[in-house]
Amino acid sequence: MSLKTLLFRAISRENKKILNFTPLLVRNHYEDHKNDVRNKFGKTAIVLFGSVLVGSAVKEKLSETDKKEELIEAGIKRTDLPTYRADEVSKHSTKSSFWVTYKHGVYDVTSFLPSHPGGEQILNAGGYSIEPFWNVYGMHKTQEVYRLLESYRIGNLHDEDVLDHSDDELWAKEPFRDDRLLVKTAKPFNAEIPPKEQVQHFDTPNELFYVRQHMPVPELDAKCHKMKIYLKGAKNKEFEFTLKELEKFKTVSIRAALMCAGNRRSEMNKQVKPVKGLSWAGGAISNAVWTGVRLRDVLLHCGVDPEDTDGKHVIFTGADMDATGVNFSTSIPLHFAVDPRADIILATKMNGEPLPLDHGYPLRVIVPGAPAVRSVKWLESITISKDESPSHWHQKDYRSFNPTKTWETADFSTAPPVYSLPVTSALCDPLEGDTVAVKEGIVTLKGYAYSGGGAKVLRVDVSTDQGKTWSEAELQSDPAPPRQHYSWTLWSLKVPVQRSVNQMEVWVKATDSNFNTQPERFEDIWNIRGILSNAYHRVKFCLQH
């Protein structure tokens, strides 16, 4: 069953029969998505509810429900509430009376509408179930979100109107994953590479490369896959390339680490206060050699003027899509792409092998030095436009705020998108809480360091006395020069240990070729999304002599 089929299961109400609809064309050019969905099906599209908790209404609701410490199971039948039929629920789809359902639950979320980060997009969900979308966005299935949802509970949905929203078929064709990966969410699949595996390989084996998905992995065939390029302007132009046709451009390879902007978010969350997002530890970064053709060469072939870049953007759109049929997309400034030194490539290979399914098969863009979200997978189209990507992922995410901004005061429209990453480092072996055998009076420490924007890590400093003294680690680096250095750096250090010492606390910080050094405290860089989390890495472990 396809994702678009799942959309229509959710709107079948009477007699539990599946209604027949003309298939939604889900891969139109990005500007057509929103209008197509809204015009063709109106409120039959199922839209994400509560993707980010913002606004004073949410704050008030959470403060009320957080007093209850018991575990919440959303959508169970409650004997203390009235029962509604589906046709009655469907009537409540206006701003003045807005209901949704989840399993057996009926919820009046009218007061939540002004707080929805996606604006009026939520209006498409009026009178229908949010469950299919939550099956796609598995990170919503948390106690915090359940408590928020239940605070709006007004009744039960009649047994005959409760549909089976099982998503087994939706995820049935997900690729095989190595069982060594540390899974954060199963649907969509998000997983870290184990820390000790990180430092065993300079180029991460494909099967251990960390995985970040927003939706199910799309089914694509390299033999028939085509990528379109749209040039927006006084005269719109359109080009189309098969993978075979892309081969006429010069093939290049670059070694680049990809890191999620939320890497090490869990430390910020734990050491300061809660943030929104996947609880990545230090494993949302891996390193690989990517092979493909330069994006610059392809754009120039299509007539893009490298001298006319002011105010223009490159929008990358992937084949993965959400439950409304909107494809994933994000963008970068055009001058990034056409700079003669630009190393942005359209990749078909990873470590010498065809791209794995989880990593963009058969075609993805690699924007080295940028947050990995810019390296769009399953690439279907590239649009040159005066506008940035209109997608939620670009407009409402991957933007940073100062530590005093809250969800109530943050204005995403004025916050610049994150296009580069700060210098960071981590100790991967030993880990927090490990017991380490001291061999001949020595403990060996191993980790990684990385900096974005093409900067090279110059030094990794390690302290075992809480910053009083520092020792320089030995580095293993790619030979690429600064400004074009996109790989991570692995480091190691042998630390002498006195027999009387039974515990060690290690602090790690890195300095890059721009002479930027990691900040000491997470308090100074805390932000509501928990991104760019790069304070000193601190690890405590026990010693065994």
Structure tokens given for 281:
């530890």
Q: Do residues 307 and 205 make contact, with C-beta atoms less than 8 angstroms apart? A: no
Q: What φ, ψ does residue 149 adopt, rounded to 5°? A: -60, -45
**Count of residues for the chain?**
545
CA 114 to each of CA 57, 117, 123, 190, 408: distance values in angstroms, whole numbers, following the listed order: 8, 8, 11, 30, 11
Which residues make beta-bridge pairs with 507?
463, 538
Q: CA-based angle 326:21:135, to the nearest 5?
A: 45
The yes-or-no answer on residue 212 being catalytic is yes
Structure tokens given for 374:
């810019």
Structure tokens given for 212:
């970040």
Q: Do residues 492 and 436 make contact, with C-beta atoms less than 8 angstroms apart? A: no
The yes-or-no answer on residue 116 being catalytic is yes
Q: Per the residue annotation, which of 13, 212, 294, 313 is the catalytic one? A: 212
Q: Do residues 443 and 495 make contact, with C-beta atoms less than 8 angstroms apart? A: yes
Q: Per the residue annotation, which of 13, 33, 116, 374 is the catalytic one? A: 116
Whole-number Å distance between alpha carbons of 250 and 244: 13
Beta strands 226-231 and 379-385 are parallel
The yes-or-no answer on residue 153 being catalytic is no
56-65 vs 143-150: helix crossing angle, rounded to 10: 100
Q: What is the largest CA-CA distance in the chain?
A: 76
Whole-number Å distance between alpha carbons of 449 and 199: 11
Q: Do residues 246 and 319 make contact, with C-beta atoms less than 8 angstroms apart? A: no
* Residues contacting residue 51 through CB under 8 Å, at least 6 positions apart: 117, 118, 137, 140, 392
Whole-number Å distance between alpha carbons of 411 and 125: 24
Q: Per the residue annotation, which of 102, 146, 152, 398 is the catalytic one? A: 398
Q: Minimal CA–CA distance to 132: which of 167, 162, 92?
A: 167
Q: What φ, ψ does residue 365 adopt, rounded to 5°? A: -95, 145
Q: CB burial class (10 A; 0-12, 13-18, 19+) of residue 481?
A: exposed
Q: Do residues 370 and 450 make contact, with C-beta atoms less than 8 angstroms apart? A: no
The yes-or-no answer on residue 265 being catalytic is no
Q: Minimal CA–CA distance to 430: which of 508, 519, 517, 522?
A: 508
- Rounded to the nearest 10 degrees, how much is the dihedral formed by the CA atoms of 159, 165, 168, 169? 120
Q: Do residues 458 and 472 make contact, with C-beta atoms less than 8 angstroms apart? A: no
Name residue, tokens 């870049």: 309
* Residues contacting residue 495 through CB under 8 Å, at least 6 positions apart: 442, 443, 444, 445, 462, 464, 471, 504
Q: Per the residue annotation, which of 9, 140, 255, 294 is the catalytic one? A: 140
Whole-number Å distance between alpha carbons of 210 and 426: 16
Q: Per the residue annotation, which of 84, 260, 485, 537 is the catalytic one? A: 260
Q: Which are the catalytic amino acids?
A: 116, 140, 212, 260, 398
